[in-house]
Amino acid sequence: MYLNLLNMLKYLIIICVFAWPLSLLAQNKPLSKPNIVILYVDDLGYGDLGCYGATQVHTPNVDKLAKNGLRFTDGHCTAATCTPSRFSLLTGSYAFRNEAAILPGDAPLLIRPGTPTLPAMLQQAGYNTAVIGKWHLGLGNGTINWNEPIKPGPAEVGFNYSFIIPATLDRVPTVYVENGAVVNLDPSDPITVNYNHKIGTDPTGLERPDLLKFKADTQHSNTIVDGISRIGYMSGGQAARWKDREMVDVLTQKTQQFLAQQKDKPFFLYLSYTDIHVPRDPHPRFRGATKMGSRGDAIVQMDWITGEVINMLEKQGLLKNTLVIFTSDNGPVLDDGYDDHAEELAVHHQSGGPYKGGKYSAYEAGTRVPTIVYWPGTVKPGRSRALVNQVDLFASLASLTAQELPASSAPDSFDMLDTWLGRSQRGRPTMLEESFTLALRWGNWKWIAPQEKEAPAWLKDKKIPTGLGKQGQLYNLTKDPAEQHDVSGTYPNQAKKMQDMIGQIKQRGKS
């Protein structure tokens, strides 16, 4: 009798031990492997959306995501420029560890194949992965032959499918690359690219300003493609060259194709918009959508494509099982090399919201960007003030999909899943902000490290406050969110402590 009871107890325990995780799994099933979509805008500032206070531009589609999702007010990309932020997003590592800086259009791949990456981790978790849009992380191993299969590239760092522009809208080669091959390449008209000297017979902006849609500064006055002079020289590939005004529809169509093919596996889509980076030449149907010229109209175009993607997910019945993260790669910039009147037309618009600086800047608007998480039925609508950073998406999404990260991977990425999904208000205790110097957030304290090096000459000509200086600066963002009053003189110990903390982050792996 006694033995029987013991046996029964044993079975009960066995049943419980096995059934409990199974029941958890069943409960969590829709949670553990949702589709994941990162909508990554180029150069969108904190104040550029209606849901973040803009009044001169209407962004109903993104505003809807914010209204029905979780809107962060202290969400950051890791750096105030593109390549470093993208490097961090995909590797979970601060960019300075790899000296990641803005790359030319013919630079080699910055992420070494074999490096643990967010898409590779998701592949491991059973996802089909894709990147569509701007890449700007380099391609190939050295000198790229654009007329042959181009690798390593997205495929070698974890993407099953890629349809990219290699660098930026303002850099050659101005072609799409699909799964490592230039789209529409005519072998009898091979592509050559050079970032040092002119090649081929295409006119440059300096030679033929009369051919230009808008004037440009010297750096942006090399080969003219589609009426716009670019950075760098290019010859050949006439049939392959993109048309700026058609790009939004090309990217929408590619996204549609990718989504339509998804059936059995969960998918990860990194949709990397080319808006609202310069040169801003939106489709004519968006022209005049705002009174802010092409920068405002590009924001409306960006809002449109966002709405299209959400509609596609809805039509396919995927919304409830798709985690959408909408954010930007760096803060805003108005004049970035082309004479598109962005500055003079933005008189009533604060592209950085209440924050100082913008793209290239160590001040808050350099990295504090719109950040919205949308997952109907799972993420409760609301607002979060927690300090979050894109570098944590790697570890957080690994946690969501139950993947173990090897100790050596994603050294700066922390599992902040509960915060990203709004289940917790706990933010990062500390966080680096990378620009031409390093800054550290520690709660609401902000320290901008002293920097001996000066800003590049082209940046000095702009009105952007970079935050660079031989003296460090300390701000209390609770009292002074716009970083107007440097209090390092009043709190020298705090300043020293934070400078030391930057030193420690540089030394150690995990920060």
Enumerate binding residues for ligand NG6 (CB under 6 A). Answer: 42-43, 81-82, 102, 136, 168, 170, 217, 219, 231, 277-278, 330, 336-337, 458
Smallest distance from ligand NG6 to CB 278, Å: 6
User: What is the strand order of the sheet 430-434 is part of?
Assistant: 430-434, 438-442, 445-448, 473-476
Give yes or no for a contact between 495 and 474, defined as CB atoms under 8 angstroms apart: yes
Select the binding partner of residue 415 from Ca ion, ligand NG6, none (C-beta < 5 to 8 A, by kind): none
Tally of CB atoms within 10 A around 5: 9
Whether 421 contacts 379, CB under 8 Å: yes
Given ligand NG6, Ca ion, none, residue 434, with its beta carbon under 5 to 8 Å by kind, binds none
Cα(142)–Cα(177) distance, rounded to whole angstroms? 17
Partner from ligand NG6, Ca ion, none binding residue 430, C-beta < 5-8 Å depending on class: none
Q: Based on CB atoms, which residue is closest to Ca ion, 219 or 476?
A: 219
**Please, is 190 exposed, middle or buried when counting C-beta atoms within 10 Å of its C-beta (0-12, 13-18, 19+)?**
middle
Q: Which listed option, ligand NG6, Ca ion, none, makes contact with residue 278 (CB within 5 to 8 Å by class)? A: ligand NG6
Question: Shortest gap between Cβ of 164 and ligand NG6 (angstroms)?
Answer: 13
Q: Which token pair is 294?
A: 């092409």
The Cα 299–Cα 322 span in angstroms is 24
Stretch that binds Ca ion, among 41-49, 101-109, 370-378, 460-468 (CB under 5 A): 41-49
Least distance in angstroms from the C-beta of 360 to Ca ion: 10
Nearer to Ca ion, 330 or 350 (CB): 330
Tell me which residue has its CB nearest to ligand NG6: 82
How big is the chain by its Cα radius of gyration, in Å? 24
CA–CA separation, 75 and 384 (whole Å): 9
170 binds, among Ca ion, ligand NG6, none (CB under 5 to 8 A by kind): ligand NG6
Q: Which is nearer to ligand NG6, 217 or 415 (CB)?
A: 217
Among 36, 43, 110, 505, binds Ca ion (CB under 5 A): 43
The encoded tokens of residue 487 equal 């209090």
Contact 413, 92 (CB under 8 A): yes
Size, binding site for Ca ion by CB under 5 A:
5
Residues 449/499, Cβ–Cβ less than 8 Å: yes
Q: Choose among Ca ion, ligand NG6, none what residue 244 binds, the Cβ cut-off being 5 to 8 Å by kind.
A: none
Q: Using CA atoms, how far apart are residues 319 and 327, in angstroms rounded to an integer?
A: 18
- Closer residue to Ca ion, CB minimum distance, 79 or 345: 79
Residue 277 Cβ, how far from Ca ion at the closest point, in Å? 6
Rounded Cα gap, residues 463 and 443, in angstroms: 29
Whose Cβ is closer to ligand NG6: residue 136's or residue 349's? 136
Q: Counting contacts by CB under 5 A, is residue 42 touching Ca ion?
A: yes
Nearest distance from residue 86's CB to ligand NG6, in Å?
9
Picked from Ca ion, ligand NG6, none, the partner binding residue 337 (CB below 5 to 8 A depending on kind) is ligand NG6
List strands edge to edge, sheet with 128-134. 181-182, 177-178, 161-165, 128-134, 267-272, 35-41, 322-328, 371-374, 70-72, 382-384
Q: Shortest Cβ distance from residue 103 to ligand NG6 (Å)?
A: 8
Using CB under 5 A, which of the segments 35-43, 171-179, 186-194, 243-251 binds Ca ion? Answer: 35-43
Per the CB < 8 A criterion, the answer to whether 357 and 363 are in contact is yes
- Find the shortest distance in angstroms from Cβ 329 to Ca ion: 4
Residue 116 or 357 having the CB closest to ligand NG6: 357
In order, the DSSP letters of 426-492 are ---SEEEEESSSEEEEETTEEEEPP-SSPPPHHHHTS-------SS-EEEETTT-TT-----TTT-H
Taking the complex as a whole, the smallest distance from the CB of residue 231 to ligand NG6 amounts, in Å, to 6
Nearer to ligand NG6, 346 or 400 (CB): 346
On whether the CB atoms of residues 141 and 109 are closer than 8 A, the answer is: yes
How far apart, in whole angstroms, are the C-alpha atoms of residue 481 and residue 223? 42
The distance of closest approach from Cβ of residue 218 to ligand NG6 in the complex, given in angstroms and rounded to an integer, is: 8
Q: Quick one: the chain helix, strand, coil %, rounded to 5?
A: 30, 15, 50
Q: Which of 156, 275, 308, 329 binds Ca ion (CB under 5 A)?
A: 329
Smallest separation, CB 329 to ligand NG6 (Å): 6
Among residues 43 and 63, whose Cβ is nearest to Ca ion? 43
The residue with its CB nearest to Ca ion is 82
> Residue 343 binds which one of ligand NG6, Ca ion, none, with CB within 5 to 8 A depending on kind?
none
Peptide bond into 332 cis (omega under 30): no
- Whether 446 and 458 have beta carbons less than 8 Å apart is answered as no
Residue (of 278, 389, 283) closest to 43 by Cα position: 278
Site for Ca ion in 82-141 (CB under 5 A): 82
Of 154 and 472, the one with the shorter C-beta distance to ligand NG6 is 154
231 binds, among Ca ion, ligand NG6, none (CB under 5 to 8 A by kind): ligand NG6
- CB 43 to ligand NG6: min, Å: 5
Query: Do 96 and 127 meet the contact criterion of CB atoms below 8 Å apart?
Result: no
Q: In whole angstroms, how close is the CB of 252 to ligand NG6 at the nearest point?
A: 21
Residue 501 interacts, among Ca ion, ligand NG6, none and using kind-specific CB cut-offs from 5 to 8 Å, with none
* Partner whose footprint covers residue 458, from Ca ion, ligand NG6, none (CB < 5 to 8 Å by kind): ligand NG6
Find out whether 343 and 352 touch, Cβ atoms under 8 Å. Answer: no
User: What is the contact surface with Ca ion in residues (CB under 5 A)?
Assistant: 42-43, 82, 329-330
